[in-house]
Amino acid sequence: MYKLIALDMDGTILKNDTTISERTKNAVKLAKKCGIKVVLASGRPMEAINSYLEELDLISEEDFVLSYNGAIVQNTGTKEKIVSNLLTGKDAHILYKLSLDMGVDINGFSKFHGLVAPKNNLYIQIQCDEINKPLVQMDFYEIKEDDEITKIIMTEDAEILSRGIELIPDNIYEEYTVLKSDKSFLEFLNRDSNKGKGLEYLANHLGIAREEIISVGDAENDMHMIEFAGLGVAMGNASDDIKKIADYIAPTNEEDGVAHVIETFILSDKQ
């Protein structure tokens, strides 16, 4: 019997217009009523998750969330952090130099400054809009070496970013978790951070076995948690690479795929 379901947001529980369908809302609330832990697992910062947690009634001392692709795992009611595996300003300096070599733009989430970037672009502005806060425009070398950085993101048009990725040296992959959350977003996290590791920390905290977990996602940054879960689910709109590692393929995010998974694997056992 499953005890926890981890849900990616963009392209998974969210429709293309970034709303949640009534069917999906009802399924989530019924699952919670049945004692299932429903956990949003997103690459987004908390500021861009909170409104959805409220909409789904997932803010309480019994609820948890994975933000920044699992770099931070916290209780939604008390705000207590179970996990906080971050980068430093020194990492920001290293990755800034790499971004210049790759010919792509860079931004990062600094605990002290907020969302920072040497210059703005369309993709960075999307992130500003998500958290409803302005960009702090500054040279990355002005960031202090001991400043806490949640994650670094390199952004550019898909083709340019893909060419830049070919220039990343092997040691970077050894020192950081590197993953694509979208075709124009390449993210760098502490090497102990990804959604799978974040979910593992949470499962251990709650005393839940991996066999009792369902993970649902659609993109490369969901791969680790899909592989970790007892039942790894790829959305119908997921990339082929994600579908290959999944145990089950759900309908698309436009077809209430998350509701289908909850109804099929959780609610059917409760009736």
- Choosing from 8, 63, 182, 256, the catalytic residue is 8
Paired residues of 178 in beta bridges: 188
Q: 105, 99, 119, 108: which is closest to 144 by C-alpha?
A: 108
Q: Is 8 a catalytic residue?
A: yes
Q: Which amino acids are annotated catalytic?
A: 8
